């Protein structure tokens, strides 16, 4: 009977009727000095356990102190580091209809993968849809519930540890993967065809400065914490003020057709080491839930029609 069951399972996988089991990604390791969405998710989770700290994506002394207190309460090693021992006790199962800091933590983690959710702590239909899509895309049981396995996949993929996280500039379900691999027409950049009014999100954390000129139209320059400068052009409206500190997944504004533009779209440039870099490899990695190459390692050619 065991042999027959194994044969049937193999046939189902080979026919595409079942997905082979894959190992869950490793839990991230974050500590004092870390930044990004994983830190924000951890802070919201600590809040859900009664620790009154800010959820600012910055792992500082207050977050370290709360982590030590939480670890002591659970009998864990109280080292202030959130890793493989602490995460499983920290995560909280959440589902549609619930609200609170644990839901905000799940929304923060989903936004790391480009879902563009409002981090409002309300588990509504939009959050449920994002959870189900993430589960489907990652071979998990698509029940719409953020339980331990989904938490581990959300947190263990897509960056977000000590080096900060990355996000797609447009909600993941708005464009197919092919759009992120399209060449630009005349220099290293990326044009994403989205209608006016589509929310646009910061790819990486940094300081945002508004742009409004003939070339870019309404847009932003974001001086990234990874050493790159990101340019977002042709918006219909700004969403944050100049000098604002933004995190990966922060909504910058709404797409449009301003400036030197031939139709509604988002124009994205990445400049590192004094040169325009092809964003395509980075965007594909983020789309696939992987950590992108360092901006300075992106090519300066090969992405032009």
**Domain ranges (residues) in the chain:** 2-156, 172-297
Spatial neighbors of 303 by CB under 8 A, at least 6 apart, are 183, 184, 188, 189, 190, 278, 279, 280
What number does CATH give the domain 2-156?
Answer: 1.10.101.10
Is beta strand 229-238 parallel, antiparallel or unpaired with respect to 266-272?
antiparallel
Closest CA to 56 of 100, 108, 103: 108
Contact present, 41 and 155 (Cβ < 8 Å): yes
The answer to whether 2-156 and 172-297 have equal CATH topology is no
pLDDT value for 9:
40
Which 3 state secondary structure label does DSSP give 76?
coil
pLDDT value for 165:
65
Contact present, 219 and 234 (Cβ < 8 Å): yes
Determine the Cα–Cα distance for residues 41 and 91; give it in Å rounded to an integer.
9
Determine the Cα–Cα distance for residues 88 and 103; give it in Å rounded to an integer.
16
pLDDT value for 57:
79
C-alpha distances out from residue 54 to 127, 171, 258, Å: 22, 26, 37
DSSP string, 188-207: S-EEE---TT-EEE-SB-EE
CATH fold for the domain made of 172-297: Glucose Permease (Domain IIA) (2.70.70)
Token pair recorded at residue 214:
């003939």
Closest CA to 192 of 217, 215, 174, 211: 174
pLDDT value for 256:
97
Determine the Cα–Cα distance for residues 237 and 177; give it in Å rounded to an integer.
26
Which 3 state secondary structure label does DSSP give 4?
helix
pLDDT value for 166:
79
Name the CA dihedral angle for 89, 114, 189, 191, rounded to a multiple of 10 degrees. Answer: 180
DSSP 99: B
Q: Note down pLDDT in tens along the chain; length 305 residues.
A: 434 434 444 443 344 443 444 567 888 888 888 777 788 899 999 999 999 999 987 889 999 999 999 999 999 999 999 999 999 999 999 999 999 999 999 998 988 776 777 888 999 999 999 999 999 988 999 999 999 999 999 998 754 333 346 788 988 778 899 999 999 999 999 999 999 999 898 998 889 999 999 999 999 999 998 899 999 999 999 988 999 888 787 888 999 999 999 999 999 999 999 999 999 999 998 887 677 889 999 999 999 99
Determine the Cα–Cα distance for residues 235 and 216; give it in Å rounded to an integer.
9
Q: What is the length of the chain? A: 305
Backbone angles phi, psi at 83, to 5 degrees: -140, -145
């Amino acid at each position: 009977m065991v042999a027959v069951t194994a044969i049937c399972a193999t046939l189902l996988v080979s026919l595409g009727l079942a997905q082979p089991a894959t190992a869950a990604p490793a839990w991230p390791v974050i500590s004092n000095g870390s930044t990004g969405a994983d830190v924000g998710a951890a802070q919201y989770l600590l809040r859900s356990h009664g620790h009154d700290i800010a959820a600012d994506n910055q792992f500082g002394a207050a977050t370290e102190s709360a982590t030590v207190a939480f670890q002591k309460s659970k009998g864990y090693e109280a080292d202030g580091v959130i890793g493989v021992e602490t995460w499983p006790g920290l995560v909280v199962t959440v589902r549609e209809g619930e609200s609170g800091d644990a839901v905000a933590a799940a929304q923060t983690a989903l936004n790391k993968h480009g879902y563009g959710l409002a981090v409002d702590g309300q588990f509504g239909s939009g959050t449920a849809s994002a959870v189900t899509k993430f589960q489907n895309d990652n071979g998990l049981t698509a029940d719409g519930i953020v339980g331990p396995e989904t938490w581990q996949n959300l947190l263990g993929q897509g960056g977000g540890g000590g080096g900060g996280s990355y996000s797609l500039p447009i909600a993941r379900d708005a464009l197919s993967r092919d759009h992120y691999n399209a060449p630009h027409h005349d220099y290293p950049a990326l044009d994403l065809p989205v209608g006016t009014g589509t929310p646009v999100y910061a790819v990486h954390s940094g300081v945002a400065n508004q742009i409004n000129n003939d070339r870019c139209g309404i847009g932003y320059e974001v001086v990234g914490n990874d050493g790159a400068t990101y340019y977002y052009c042709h918006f219909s409206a700004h969403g944050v003020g100049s000098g604002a500190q933004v995190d990966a997944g922060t909504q910058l504004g709404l797409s449009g057709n301003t400036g030197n533009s031939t139709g509604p779209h988002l124009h994205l440039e990445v400049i590192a080491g004094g040169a325009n870099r092809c964003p395509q490899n980075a965007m594909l990695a983020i789309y696939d839930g992987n950590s992108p190459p360092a901006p300075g390692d992106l090519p300066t050619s090969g992405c032009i029609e």
